[in-house]
Amino acid sequence: MSKPEIHPLASVAAGAKLGNGVRVGAYAVVGEEVELGEGCAVHAHAVVQGPSQFGKNNVFHAFCVIGGDPQDYTFRSERAELAAGDGNIFREYVTISRGTQKGGGKTCLGSDNFFLAYSHVGHDCRVGSHTLFVNGATLAGHVTVEDFATIGAFCPVHQFCRIGRYAYIGASTVITQDVPPFSRVVTERETKSFGINTIGLERRGFSPERLDALKRAYHLLLRSKLNTSQAVAEMKRTLGGSSDVEELVQFIESAERGIVK
């Protein structure tokens, strides 16, 4: 494999160690005591700090900060590390913190993990292999995530919790206790429709007549004792002259995942 390729506008510390085939893009920063295995790609504007060690073929996308100082009030710049395996993908604005001395001094990641934009792994965490962190998934410090787990979008995980193998955590679920392996955990959803977007439609020039027809349609859909199919049939019978209601009916009838009511 070829020697490392470093863009002239990149900043690579003298103490960094780059394996064969490593590529570092413009304005990227590779800090002291960073070790990148062969085939790693540090895209433009990415930041990789040390002490940290990475295996082969890790990919660091723009504006991620991997190996940064732990977000801990007690941290006093003592030595703390990050260690990662092979084939991890860190998308935009992902942050992975190094460890703290009181937590063992090291954050550890396995291999083939996919960290989507804005996800975060706090200090002293242990993440296995083949995990998926969806956008905004967040681990506090000292969390353990076992192999093949999925952390859904915007899920905060409380410190010292464990996520078992093959567990699935649905979007926007707050985790404050351990999640058993093989389980599916999703917060109860209370999303409801409250009728038409009156102010927004008025601002877009909808006439009182159009608004009235839509209000009547939504009353049938949400406030009557009719089920969805019956409400649609009643809309067709009584409000068929409204193109807006016809659009609503077509939308409902073409829904493959149901509609929010």
| CA distances in angstroms from 145 to 91, 107, 131, 182, listed in the order given | 19, 12, 8, 13
The number of beta carbons lying within 10 Å of the beta carbon of residue 209 is 10
Q: Which of 31, 39, 128, 141 is catalytic?
A: 141
Kind and range of the H or E run holding 95: strand 95-97
Q: Which of 124, 128, 136, 142 is catalytic?
A: 124
Q: Sheet harboring 168-169: ordered strands across?
A: 5-6, 23-24, 41-42, 59-60, 89-90, 114-115, 132-133, 150-151, 168-169, 184-185
244 is catalytic: no
124 is catalytic: yes
Please give the Cα distance from 213 to 179 (Å, whole number): 48
Q: Which residue type is seen at 255?
A: A
Q: What is the DSSP letter of 191?
A: -
Q: Which of 39, 123, 128, 152 is catalytic?
A: 123
CA 8 to chain centre: 32
Phi-psi region of 211 (alpha: psi -120 to 50; beta: other; left: phi over 0): alpha
| CA distances in angstroms from 147 to 128, 137, 170, 257, listed in the order given | 5, 16, 17, 30
Q: What is the number of H-type helices and E-type strands within the chain? A: 4, 26
141 is catalytic: yes
Where in the sequence numbering do the catalytic residues fall? 123-124, 141
